Amino acid sequence: MTVKLALLLVIIVGFVFLPTTVFMLFGMLPTIAVFATDRTVGRNKTICIGAMNFSGCFPFLLEFWTEFGQQTVDNALRLIGQSETIIVIYMLAAGGYAINKAVTGITVSIIIQRNERRLKKIKSEQEKLVKRWGEKVTGQYALDDYGFPVKPIPEKKKEEDDKPDKEPDKSDGQNEKSNDQNTEEK
């Protein structure tokens, strides 16, 4: 109901100020076209191009209201027919399109760089977890409803088995002797 009432109000105001409406209709054509084709969330492209398009229309609109004499549809069409008016209005709309493209590209590149850094950090954390807990935490094995592997996970040989035996430290032997003495005294 509110939308219908607002639309009715816009139509009435458009007819009351018909010369201004005709001028703005021709001047804001790039914005109308973008509004019809922009399907992005928030319609950022429409807002950017519309703001620049309106900033191009506004000086000529002020000229139409103040210096052009009587406000008639004929005078509005005469102002729109001037090549300077159309060039300035549409070039500023094109500038809005360029600003939108540039800001979108910069924003996308910043987001991509941030996500790549985050992905590197996540991968290093995963490597630390695999090193600490083994291959079982990689998520490559099918699990049942209770979280246990469906097929047995092959055990990886420990690094200690591959290394040659070390000679025991003398300090370890002394600690064992002192531990034996302590138990005998008790």
pLDDT (tens digit, 9 = 90+) per residue, 38-77? 888 888 899 999 999 999 999 999 988 887 778 888 888 9
Tens digit of pLDDT for each residue in 125-183?
A: 988 988 888 777 777 777 888 878 787 777 766 555 555 555 555 555 555 555 555 55
Each domain of the chain, given as residue ranges in start order, spans: 12-136
Whole-number Å distance between alpha carbons of 178 and 31: 90
- In the chain, the amino acid numbered 182 is N
pTM over 0.95: no
Tens digit of pLDDT for each residue in 119-128?
A: 999 999 988 9
